[in-house]
């Protein structure tokens, strides 16, 4: 099968790698030794968070078991915080593998979106206000730390 535009080798200059290196700013929600969670700057709903492993993985195919477990446990923390902060049960967990699936940043990441599949906004289109993202990140982080 031919897969078009598929990126299979890890690019050390991808935007999430730069975040992990501390080279570009982001709104942090949570961090531990194996994962980082931060606000998506083009959210598909208010409170859209991304969770990444501190491992150079392009997509799910590359993810090592210990990082897979860590990402899932961080996702659980974030989802529980989103439920509390946004007072809603429904949170979408989404993850795209390959450009054919719509993946645009080639460092593995899980999307956690307080929304419904019927109301989900468009993917990576509209940039959110920085102050709003900072305020939401602070609220989510406070609940996780509590």
Beta-carbon contacts of residue 145 (< 8 Å; ≥ 6 apart): none
Applying CB under 6 A, the span of 40-48, 69-77, 84-92, 112-120 interacting with ligand AMP comes to 40-48
Stretch that binds ligand AMP, among 35-43, 58-66, 81-89, 112-120 (CB under 6 A): 35-43
With binding defined as CB under 6 A, does residue 78 bind ligand AMP?
no
Instruction: Give the interface size with ligand AMP as a residue count (CB under 6 A).
Output: 12
Q: How far apart are the first and last CA of the chain?
A: 49
Question: Which residue, judged by CB position, is nearest to ligand AMP in the bound state?
Answer: 42
Pick the catalytic residue: 109, 111, 118, 123?
Answer: 109
Is 123 among the residues known to form the active site? no
| 19 phi/psi in degrees, rounded to 5 | -65, -45
Is 105 a binder of ligand AMP (CB under 6 A)? yes
Q: At 111, phi and psi to the nearest 5?
A: -90, 135
Span near ligand AMP by CB under 6 A; candidates 76-84, 99-107, 114-122, 134-142: 99-107
- b/e map of 79-96 (b: 16 or more CB within 10 Å)? bebbeebbeeeebbebbb
Asked whether position 40 contacts ligand AMP by CB under 6 A, the answer is yes
CA angle 29, 116, 77 (to 5 degrees): 30
Annotated catalytic residues are 109
């Amino acid at each position: 099968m031919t897969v078009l535009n598929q990126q299979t080798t890890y690019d050390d200059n991808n935007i999430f790698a730069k975040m992990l290196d501390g080279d570009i700013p982001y709104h942090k929600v949570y961090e531990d030794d194996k994962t980082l969670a931060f606000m998506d700057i083009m959210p598909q709903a208010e409170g859209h968070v991304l969770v990444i492993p501190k491992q150079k993985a392009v997509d799910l195919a590359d993810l090592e078991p210990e990082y897979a477990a860590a990402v899932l446990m961080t996702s659980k923390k974030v989802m529980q915080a989103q439920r509390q902060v946004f007072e809603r049960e429904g949170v979408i967990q989404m993850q795209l593998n390959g450009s054919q699936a719509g993946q645009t940043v080639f460092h593995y990441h899980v999307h956690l979106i307080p929304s419904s599949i019927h109301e989900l906004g468009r993917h990576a289109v509209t940039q959110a206000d920085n102050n709003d993202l900072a305020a939401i990140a602070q609220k989510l982080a406070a609940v996780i730390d509590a």
